[in-house]
Amino acid sequence: MAVNGTGPYDPQNVFARILRGELPCKKVYEDEYALAFHDIAPKAPVHVLVIPKGPFVSFADFSSKGTEAEITGFTRAVGRVARDLNLEAPGYRLLSNVGVAGGQEVPHFHVHLFGGRALGAMLAG
Ligand code: AMP
């Protein structure tokens, strides 16, 4: 079910629990600012989620409240994950759903990183 992208942060959301080590994930990369792991229901041959370590509900929240260091660190981590997965040369897609109209389901900011095939039209319909 889609969630509000501007509401208060729920520390029990699934990605908060992954960050605390309470739930497992298939980790791809981790540093001070970001954690990257495989999506549990991949929609492309490569479908990785990159999340910031701080408690941000959505891109709306992160872009307004994240510190310069958090925003820079997170952005560099996303680029590094794409590079490490050899997605730069063939190309890839970044996507972040925000709020109800965006179809966001997990209320912790995340970027989807898709690759491994030609990804087709930007939106399904
Ligand atoms: P969004 O609609 O942008 O909020 O996408 C949430 C994504 O999180 C979906 O692609 C789910 O498949 C994925 N997801 C949900 N729970 C987990 C989990 N425990 N581990 C990895 N991915 C998950």
Confidence class for position 124, pLDDT limits 50, 70, 90 = confident
For residue 97, which atom of ligand 1 is closest to its CA?
A: 3
Range of the domain at 78: 12-101
Q: 41 CB less than 6 Å from ligand 1?
A: yes
Is 107 domain-assigned?
no
Q: Report the CATH number at residue 23.
A: 3.30.428.10
Hey, which residues are catalytic here? Answer: 110
Cβ-based neighbours of 68, under 8 Å, separated by 6 or more:
none
The answer to whether 75 touches 57, Cβ cutoff 8 Å, is no
Q: Is residue 125 part of a domain?
A: no
The answer to whether residue 32 is domain-embedded is: yes
For the segment 8-56, what is each residue's pLDDT rounded down to a tens digit?
A: 999 999 999 999 999 999 999 999 999 999 999 999 999 999 999 999 9
Alpha-carbon gap, residue 52 to 69, rounded angstroms: 11
Longest dimension (CA), the chain: 39
C-alpha–C-alpha distance, residues 62 and 81, integer Å: 19
Half-sphere exposure at residue 10, Cβ-oriented, CA atoms within 13 angstroms: 13
97 lines ligand 1 (CB under 6 A): yes
Assigned domain for 120 exists: no
With respect to residue 4, please indicate whether it lies within any of the assigned structural domains. Answer: no
Distance of CA 27 from the midpoint of ligand 1 (Å): 14
Distance CA 75, CA 100 (A): 24
Mean pLDDT computed over every residue of the chain: 97
Is the residue at 29 inside a domain?
yes
Split into its structural domains, the chain has a count of 1
Please say if the pLDDT value at position 76 is more than 90: yes
Q: Is residue 54 part of a domain?
A: yes
